[in-house]
Amino acid sequence: MSERGYLLLGLLAPLIVVTILLLGVPRFADVYRGFDMPLPWQTTLLLRGHVAIALLPFACLSAWFLWPKREERGRATLVAGLPLSLAVFLFAVWAAYSPIARLGAWG
């Protein structure tokens, strides 16, 4: 695979995660308003900072421009993009569903 192919794959994952979060998190915020309990810290962080996650593709793209070896830039972008995207996505899922699980434990 060419370095540009790696670049595209490295940017695709962050773009998918950002799209899901920008569309999904506001919907969870509406659900949380109906809860009669304080939200966990991770959920509050997600609700307040989900727009900042839109910077994720730019962080991955910076690997392309900052990587010292030109012939390895695409792979660097892929290696930066996939784990970062997975970590952000898993945190978002955990933060989004924590209050729901907590509400079930309270009920």
Closest CA to 57 of 25, 21, 85, 76: 85
CB atoms within 10 A of CB 36: 6
Q: CA 65 to CA 69: how far, in whole Å?
A: 10
How many CA atoms lie within 13 Å of 28's alpha carbon, on the beta-carbon side? 22
pLDDT, one tens digit for every residue, the chain (107 residues): 888 899 899 999 999 999 988 888 888 777 777 777 777 888 888 888 888 888 889 988 898 899 999 889 999 999 999 999 999 999 999 988 888 777 776 55
Which structure tokens are listed for 52? Answer: 């900042």
pTM: 0.81
Q: 17 exposed, middle or buried (CB, 10 Å; 0-12, 13-18, 19+)?
A: buried
